[in-house]
A and B are shown apart, each in its own frame.
Chain A
Amino acid sequence: MQIKETSGKFCGEALLFDEKPLLSVSDLTTCFYTDAGIAKAVDRVNFTVNPGDTLGIVGESGCGKSVTALTIMRLIPEPPGKVRSGKIVFSGRDLLQLSEKEMRRIRGKQISMIFQDPMTSLNPVFQIGKQISEVIRLHQGLSRKESLHHAVALLQKVGIPSPERRVFEYPHQLSGGMRQRAMIALAISCHPKVMIADEPTTALDVTIQAQILNVIQDLKTTIGTSILLITHDLGVIAETARTVIVMYAGKIMEYAPVEDLFERPRHPYTIGLMQSVPSLEQETERLPVIPGLVPSLLEIPAGCAFSNRCDHVTRQCVNQEPPLFDITPKIRCRCWRYQ
């Protein structure tokens, strides 16, 4: 019942934009089969990414944002993970139906990914130029020399000073920010259509965060890559994303354009998140917190997943899971209050 209803919603959503979506995820469910039980890390998730768009996914640790990204890349370790249902349509093809070999041709070339920790995402024993040129050689079959030239140009593009010297350096010789730039250079080396950035700024200093976000924004305009930005940082979302998904316990709680979300958050969870960010305008002694803890994926409440922490909880919330209600054609919210 639920599945049918949400996928119906998804079709409506796709019609909203005149552009054809580049990536559309529908009804995606990813589970992990553990000894303690089945954890639904991603639960019937629907969204679309349009060409040149930036979609932000925000949520606390363990809400399923990274698993969503890894599922799109088909990098979920199986077992214990399994994609139980859904479609990931990219450029007209369902990624979940592709063979591993076909998928490898898409990874890095058409969809690339930046990981959270630039300190460990680069291979410590190779010069960064070699690592970037390896990817170029893999997908474009260029010679060593040509691909190294490309690597220098890419490092220049992401704002690494004196790139012709830096290509011969090892990851540990670069600072965190520089390494993340190198990671971005690696991710854009084959001009991907979609770049998934999984917490790209979390491990970095605040000033460096801003620089990295600028680099990502610039690249979006220069090479026209769509970005799927995953973060727990609302500030990063506000600066970068155009549409935002708020995830909680593997489910989409709210789906809204970024201005609407910040102007008028609707879901109690989103409101709680917004309130727990310090504001410059008003002085507060203590920040409000959302009571309780994120439930373990093995013990999600029966009704609304947020019901055990929500201020507005009703009997209906406890007993019945709310669907994603359409509030306006562009805004959706999983809460009975918007019935």
Chain B
Amino acid sequence: MPGASGSQRSVLARMSRHVRKHILGALGLGVTLCMVLVALLAPLLAPYDPYDQDVAKRFQPPIWHSEGNTDHVLGTDHVGRDLLSRLVYGARISLSVGVFAVSIAATIGIVLGLLAGYYMGKTDALISYLIDMMMSFPYVLLAMALVATLGASFRNVFIVLGLTSWPLYARVIRTEVLRIKEMDYIQSAKAVGMNDIRILLLEVIPNLFNSIIVICTVQTAAMIISESFLSFLGLGVQPPIPSWGGMLSEGRTYMLEMGWLAALPGMAIFLTAMGINLLGDGLRDFFDPFKRKQG
């Protein structure tokens, strides 16, 4: 068959053509890849140990400042820790919170959304009730209350964020399933003798990929921001572990004199969130068969 190897080659070719055509998506991919690399290679990239304190060298300004020096490229914080090293290690915390929280929420949300949308009836009534209940409650508030009860730790943060943000996935997936279920190709799948499981796996879920990609990427960024929010309030990852939100929170005390202490972690959060969102848009276009031309 010319298809088997041919189609694999064409996937690569299509990808590179696609990247060239979609600058923003490529930019998103680049930024996200950079962040992932930084997180993975943190021990190699960080010039100092992120926990090393040196009070004598506290509040050193970054290199572009008139008093900056090359010892600490991005300066030091209030206890003299190297800011660059903390930012690099912070990428690990922020990205993993994003990925773990989204994995938990997506699994719960997608399964419940599928069940509710496909089977309707009592299943749907129960799940929809749960969704409504969860959504009527501000989830950051819920997350805060839960973390406060369970105790603030890295693990609790992503578990709580995952457990409180699934209703969004469930609702989107449920609505999409309701729409897809009425499509003629579902009827024709039934007419060729497929059972419910096959129809769900082969007909419904592949048509959900676009929505899933979009929610997951938007939510990864949102989770990173939520983590910084919780850390900012002191309910997230606990010091001295470097997390971007925590650093932002520590930096705000010195906002007026040494703005970079808060601005740099803020910048890192902003860049990562934007990169992931752009990547999501790009992926959605890439997987949309209608945008694929002869390939």
Contact = CB atoms under 8 A, between A and B. Distances in A.
Given A115-B187, A134-B202, A139-B193, 5 more contacts: A108-B192, A113-B188, A115-B188, A148-B3, A186-B192
Contacts of B189: 123
Interface in B156-192: 183-185, 187-192
Nearest to A192: B192
B200 to A, nearest CB: 13
Interface in B203-241: 203, 206-207, 209
B188 A138 contact: no
Interface residues of B, number: 27
A168 B295 CA distance: 9
A59 B252 CA distance: 76
B292 A168 contact: no
A186 B187 CA distance: 14
Interface string A170-186: 10110000000001001
Interface of A: 73, 75, 101, 104-109, 112-113, 115, 117, 120-126, 129, 134-135, 138-139, 145, 148-149, 164, 167-168, 170, 172-173, 183, 186
B294 to A, nearest CB: 7
Interface of B: 1-4, 7, 183-185, 187-195, 198, 202-203, 206-207, 209, 289-290, 292, 294
27 contacts: A75-B187, A75-B190, A101-B195, A104-B194, A104-B195, A106-B193, A107-B192, A107-B193, A108-B191, A108-B193, A112-B192, A117-B184, A120-B185, A121-B188, A123-B203, A124-B207, A124-B289, A124-B290, A125-B207, A134-B202, A135-B192, A138-B194, A145-B4, A168-B7, A170-B290, A172-B289, A186-B188
Contacts of A167: 3
Contacts of A123: 185, 189, 203, 206-207
A125 B2 contact: no
A107 B188 CA distance: 10
B206 A112 contact: no
A149 B198 CA distance: 22
B191 A73 contact: yes
Contacts of B294: 173
Contacts of A107: 190-193
Contact of B184 (A121, A125, A126, A173): A121
B-side interface mostly: helix
B1 A148 contact: yes
B193 A109 contact: yes
A104 B294 CA distance: 35
Nearest to A135: B192
Contacts of A121: 184-185, 187-188
A120 B183 contact: yes
Given A107-B190, A126-B206, A170 B185 contact: no
A17 to B, nearest CB: 28
Contacts of B195: 101, 104
Nearest to A190: B192
**Max chain A C-beta neighbours (<10 A), residue from B191, B195, B209, B290:** B191
Nearest to A130: B202
Contacts of A139: 193
Contact of A112 (B185, B191, B209, B289): B191
A105 B194 CA distance: 9
Contacts of A172: 289-290
B292 A170 contact: yes
Contact of A75 (B1, B185, B191): B191
A113 B191 contact: yes
